[in-house]
Amino acid sequence: MKTIDELLAEGVAGKRVFVRADLNVPLDGTTITDDGRIRAVVPTVARLAEAGARVVVASHLGRPKGSPDPSFSLAPAAARLGELLGADVAFATDTVGDSARATVAALTDGQVAVVENLRFNAGETSKDDAERGAFADQLAQLADVYVGDGFGAVHRRHASVYDLPARLPHAAGYLIATEVGVLKKLTEDVARPYAVVLGGAKVSDKLGVIDHLLEKADRILIGGGMAYTFLKAQGHEVGISLLQEDQVPAVQGYLKRAEELGVEFVLPVDVLVAGEFPDLKTKAPAHPATVAADAIPADQEGLDIGPETCALYASKLADAATVFWNGPMGVFEHPDYAGGTRAVAQALAGSEAFSVVGGGDSAAAVRILGFDENAFGHISTGGGASLEYLEGKTLPGLAALED
């Protein structure tokens, strides 16, 4: 895989360099609520611009249906990128149309442009190779060189991620190089004890990574909505908590296999419950009750791990040399149910372990809860991509960058 430094050594002055970034940031209207993914691509874009490249930045945002949708416009992200670069960033109001062609043609050496949301074109995400390839051909007309730096999308077989690199000289940007280096530390010659913390809503989203990490981790801590499927697998009442009943047999199998392998599975011993899901818009007081994890009332829903579990998990992380964390422990968006996620973040922030926060909601939670990002070994920009890498899968966007 060619690095961006090798590309720069060959010279990029005057060349149109297409940077596939991940600017898929959360928006409240047109206000960006977490700019972490934009900040992550700044080193690559800035270095290319300094070297005299004419930089064309492209990304997806959200899940539009293959046609323009103003609510998913990249305009706010382009404006924020300009602020972070300290330079004007041009914005094309389409992806491969008249505006994109004119905007790119107007660039001079060292200037940067952002084209509109790639997913406004059906070809970007098409499962039809020919349709996807045709869109990649159009994108290729905007550039001379391709730099892949959208780690959060490398697990997708999309036109700008998988097909476009085959049509242009290509290299990996700084972010992708960093992300892959970090993930190798979680899979090759891992410093032990190795603890994994998994949360989030659905256990089905994590079964593949659990299966793979059972061969590598020393202990696995479970929280979030997925914890209730584990508790159900142990025969406990979970009330109206989030439950994937069809996954109970698989979970029981993993618990048994973990015992056979000597991997410690750590589940909640107490949880915060309420009779209804909290209002996340007004964040009105929820008044949760704390109950033992094996005594959830039939009419109550588990929404966070409890204080005893917070202390237990902190103790299980205290001596770890390596920690991978993906998924919040509860409904952290509401202050009454943020305690579990905060406790895990605090345990890692105060730890000497090499800690990796695996993107998505976990990364957002770290920022929303006010933690210093430098207190963690690495905060990934790609939750899904990180999980699939740890599952041992081949990621299309990384394979496409291999020479």
- Catalytic residue ranges: 37, 202, 360, 384
How far is Cα 266 from Cα 318, in angstroms, rounded to an integer?
14
Q: Which of 97, 11, 111, 8 lies closest to 57 in space, CA to CA? A: 111
Asked whether the beta carbons of 387 and 365 are under 8 A apart, the reply is no
DSSP string, 174-221: HHHHHHHHHHHHTTSS--SSEEEEE-SS-GGGTHHHHHHHTTT-SEEE
3-class SS of residue 326: strand
How far is Cα 381 from Cα 376, in angstroms, rounded to an integer?
14
Find all residues with CB under 8 Å of 96, minimum gap 6, and list them. Answer: 115, 121, 135, 138, 139, 141, 142
Count of other CB atoms within 10 angstroms of residue 304: 32
